[in-house]
Amino acid sequence: MSNLKIYNVNEDEWYVALSEAQLIAYLKQEYGEGWGETIDDVIIELIDEELDNYTFFDDMDDSKDPANANPSHNRTFREQLKIVEESGEKIPCMFAINEY
């Protein structure tokens, strides 16, 4: 496994980056230089336990309800991180998002 890490941003978004500094630079580029200047802008690196216990829901129906997701396509965040790593996707990148 590489040095890729998953960071939770503002409670409902997850990004992959090599470091918090790299992610902050990316977020400022995407959302403006003011990103990170409010108390609402929070970045937390996921720990091993979270990588193994959080579920990445894939191939959901149009309702976007995790209860309707195809369980055979669900995997841990750690498993999905390996897929991202092997895909050659440009890093940093968005990893997952809570959709309501």
In 3-state terms the chain splits into helix, strand, coil percentages (rounded to 5) of: 35, 20, 45
Please tell me the predicted confidence (pLDDT) of residue 20.
93
Local structure of 66: helix, strand or coil: helix
Statement: residue 13 has pLDDT above 60: yes
pTM over 0.85: no
User: What's the domain count of the chain?
Assistant: 1
Q: Note down the domain range covering 62.
A: 5-97
pLDDT value at 62 more than 60:
no
> Using alpha carbons only, what angle is made at residue 96 by residues 59 and 44, rounded to the nearest 5 degrees?
155
pLDDT tens digits, residue range 26-55? 999 998 888 887 767 889 999 999 999 999
Q: Is the dihedral of CA 64, 68, 72, 75 positive or negative?
A: positive
